[in-house]
Amino acid sequence: MRILSILFAACLMVLPVGLLADKADPVWNFEASDPVMNDAIAEARATLPIFLNKVSVSNPAQELFALKVALPTPDAGHEHVWVAYFNHQNNSFEGALMNQPAMAQGNRGDVIEFTNADISDWFFWQDEKMHGAFTMRVMLPQLSAEDQAYYKGVLAPKPVR
């Protein structure tokens, strides 16, 4: 049975990487065949060109752009972690890990290389709302009541604007 592991840290969505070095990141596991999570990943991938266009256009109202990337794990699975401060050219990306991987290689702040095929989600902030975050929306029921209330308040009603 293959499991998708998704790292998530609520505070990572709004704080710089260096401020979180001592915080542990919770991990949520999803079956690799989970249809709702797979639909969210497919929608994020389908809208990736829209996100990348927003990254390339200077808009002071938009900030903290991040990608969720699937990293290989020793058990032949994948761990999905957030990556920020990234550069891209065509299908090649490099960026800094925002999460501390639990099973995959690397540490928070490490620069990694990846491709479009490794991307499972994206988000950015605009007008105090988080846009994208398709997998996050699927994870909401698994969050604490406090975190659910927070994210329901900050997630844009429509993931793509």
Q: Is the pLDDT of residue 23 over 80?
A: no
Q: Is the pLDDT of residue 71 over 80?
A: yes
Per the prediction, the chain carries an average pLDDT of: 85
C-alpha dist (Å) from residue 47 to 27, 41, 78, 119: 25, 10, 22, 11
State how far the Cα of 18 lies from the Cα of 25, in Å rounded to an integer: 14
Dig out the tokens for 45 from the structure: 């991938």
More confident residue, 32 or 109: 109
Read off the DSSP letter of residue 77: -
Domain map (residue ranges) of the chain: 3-154
C-alpha dist (Å) from residue 32 to 1, 40, 91: 8, 13, 24
